[in-house]
C-alpha cells in the first residue's frame, strides 16, 4: 500500500534513485519531494522553499532540529527580489559581486517565505551557487529551493554523492549525481540585516575577499552582534567519533589507531593508519570532510589535524577543525 506523503519521509524504506539528469531530479522537487544536488561547496538537500510540507521532509530526512533555518537557493539574481525585502545597499554590493558563488546573504525575508524555512525568523539566507549542474537543477525546479547540507544531522557535510547516499539512502527519493565538490567547505554566511555586515559562518569566501567589497564586514563580537539573532551560532557542529587533536606539526610517535591530515608530511616511519598530506590550504579544505568520514568508517581512535595558517580559506578550515575538536555532535 502506498503510504501517505506525510508519512513517507519518516520511513527508511524509500527507494533512493541516483540520476545524472538535473531535469529528473528537479521533477521530484516540483512534485513536493526532496532531491540532493551538488554545488561547488558541498551537496545540498533541496525542496520547494515555498511549500512547507516539502520543506518538512528535509528536516525529517536529516533529523535536523527545527530551530535551525535553511538557506534558500536561487538560479538567477532576479529571484532574490522575490524572496527578500528591504535590501541594504551593502547587501546589494555583496550580491552583485558574489552571486553566483559561495556566499550566503542573510536578509529580511519577503512575507510569503514560510516560517519553517527560516525557523520563525524574519530573515532568510539566500545563495546562488556557482556550479553548472546546480544551476541547471535549480532552474528546472522552477521555484526557490530550500537546502541544508545533505548529511544526516551529526555527520560532516557531504562532498561526494556517495557520502549523501551513505547518510540518506532510503530517506530521500533522489540524488543528483555530480562530481566531488571542488571547495569542500560550506558557504560563507553573512548577516546583512544590521548597520554593518557580520560573518556568521566563515566559509569559502574569505573575510579579506569580502572586505574588498564591504570594508567594514566583521566577525560577531560581544559589542557588534546579538548572538540570539543567529541560531546557527548556537548549534554545535560535526565532530568525528574519533578524538580530534589539533597540532602544529605531525606527532613523531602517534598512539595506535591514529590518523593524520595536514600540510606537513609526517616523519618517515610514524605509524599512522591513515594519512593525507595536502599541497595547500585549498586542498586541505577539499579533503577534510571526506577524511573525517573515512576515519569514522575505519573506527579510528584519534585524528591529528595540523592547524593551517589562519588567513584566506584557512580561517574557515581552522573554524571547522576547532569545532570538530571541541566535540559537538549536531550540525
Ligand atoms: O555551502 C552551503 O552553504 C551549503 C550548500 C548546500 O548551499 N548549505 C549549508 O546549509 O551548509 P546548512 O543548513 O548546513 O547551513 C546553513 C547555515 C546554518 O548555520 C544556519 O543556521 C545559517 O546558515 N542560516 C540560515 N538561514 C539563516 C538566517 N535566516 N539567519 C541566520 N543564520 C541562518
Ligand atoms: Mg549543515
Q: Point out the least confidently predicted range of 195-199, 209-213, 326-330.
A: 326-330
Instruction: Please confirm whether the linkage preceding 260 is cis (ω < 30° from 0).
Output: no
- Residue-level pLDDT at 326: 82
190: CA distance to ligand 1 center in Å? Answer: 10
The Cα–Cα gap between 141 and 144 comes to 8
Kindly tell me if the per-residue pLDDT of 3 is higher than 90.
no
- Residue-level pLDDT at 6: 43
Which of 46, 63, 232 is the pocket-test mutation for ligand 1 (most atoms within 8 Å of CB)?
232
User: What is the pLDDT confidence band of residue 51, given thresholds at 50, 70 and 90?
Assistant: very high
Which residues make up the environment of ion ligand 2, defined by Cβ < 5 Å?
149, 331
> Global pTM?
0.93
Kindly tell me if the per-residue pLDDT of 12 is higher than 70.
no
Across 142-155, average pLDDT: 95
Burial string for 192-207 (b: 16+ CB within 10 Å, else e) reads bbeeebbbbbbbbbbb
The residue whose grid cell reads 559562518 is: 201
157: CA distance to ligand 2 center in Å? Answer: 6
Q: What is the mean pLDDT of the chain?
A: 92
User: What is the pLDDT confidence band of residue 330, given thresholds at 50, 70 and 90?
Assistant: very low
Measured from the Cα of 104, ligand 1's closest atom is 3
Kindly tell me if the per-residue pLDDT of 232 is higher than 70.
no
Across 52-59, average pLDDT: 98
Across 289-298, average pLDDT: 96
Tens digit of each residue's pLDDT (9 = 90 or more) over 248-276: 999 999 999 999 999 999 999 899 999 99
Pairing type for strands 17-19 and 103-108 reads: unpaired
| Number of Cβ atoms within 10 Å of the Cβ of 232 | 16
Burial string for 275-294 (b: 16+ CB within 10 Å, else e) reads bbbbeebbebbbbbbbbbbb
Q: Are 106 and 136 in contact (CB under 8 A)?
A: no
280: CA distance to ligand 2 center in Å? Answer: 24
Kindly tell me if the per-residue pLDDT of 329 is higher than 50.
no
Bridge partners of residue 174, in order along the sequence: 17
User: What is the pLDDT confidence band of residue 43, given thresholds at 50, 70 and 90?
Assistant: very high
Amino acid at each position: 500500500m502506498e503510504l501517505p506523503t506525510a508519512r513517507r519521509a519518516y520511513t527508511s524504506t524509500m527507494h533512493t534513485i541516483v540520476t545524472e539528469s538535473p531535469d529528473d531530479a528537479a521533477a521530484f522537487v516540483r512534485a513536493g519531494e526532496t532531491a540532493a544536488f551538488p554545488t561547488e561547496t558541498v551537496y545540498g538537500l533541496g525542496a520547494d522553499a515555498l511549500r512547507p510540507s516539502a520543506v518538512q521532509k528535509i528536516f525529517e530526512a536529516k533529523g535536523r532540529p527545527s530551530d535551525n533555518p535553511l538557506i534558500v537557493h536561487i538560479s538567477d539574481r532576479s529571484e532574490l527580489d522575490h524572496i527578500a525585502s528591504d535590501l541594504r545597499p551593502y547587501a546589494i554590493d555583496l550580491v552583485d559581486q558574489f552571486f553566483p558563488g559561495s556566499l550566503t546573504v542573510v536578509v529580511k525575508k519577503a512575507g510569503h517565505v514560510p516560517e519553517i524555512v527560516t525557523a520563525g525568523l524574519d530573515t532568510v539566507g539566500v545563495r546562488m551557487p556557482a556550479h553548472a549542474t546546480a544551476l541547471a537543477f535549480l532552474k528546472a525546479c522552477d521555484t526557490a529551493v530550500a537546502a541544508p547540507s545533505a548529511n544526516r544531522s551529526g555527520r560532516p557535510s557531504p562532498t561526494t554523492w556517495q557520502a549523501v547516499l551513505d547518510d540518506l539512502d532510503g530517506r530521500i527519493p533522489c540524488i543528483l549525481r555530480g562530481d566531488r565538490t571542488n571547495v569542500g567547505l560550506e558557504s560563507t554566511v553573512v548577516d546583512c540585516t544590521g548597520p554593518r555586515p557580520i560573518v556568521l559562518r566563515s566559509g569559502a569566501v574569505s573575510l579579506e575577499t569580502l572586505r574588498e567589497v564591504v570594508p567594514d564586514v566583521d566577525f560577531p563580537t560581544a559589542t557588534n552582534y546579538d548572538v540570539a539573532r543567529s541560531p546557527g551560532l548556537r548549534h554545535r557542529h560535526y565532530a568525528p567519533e574519533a578524538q580530534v587533536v589539533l597540532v602544529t606539526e605531525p606527532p613523531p610517535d602517534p598512539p595506535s589507531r591514529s590518523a593524520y591530515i595536514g600540510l606537513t608530511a609526517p616523519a618517515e616511519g610514524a605509524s599512522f593508519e591513515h594519512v593525507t598530506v595536502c599541497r595547500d590550504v585549498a586542498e586541505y579544505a577539499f579533503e577534510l570532510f571526506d577524511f573525517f568520514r573515512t576515519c569514522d568508517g575505519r573506527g579510528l581512535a584519534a585524528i591529528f589535524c595540523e592547524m593551517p595558517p589562519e588567513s584566506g580559506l584557512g580561517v574557515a578550515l581552522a573554524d571547522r577543525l576547532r569545532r570538530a575538536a571541541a566535540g559537538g555532535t549536531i550540525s
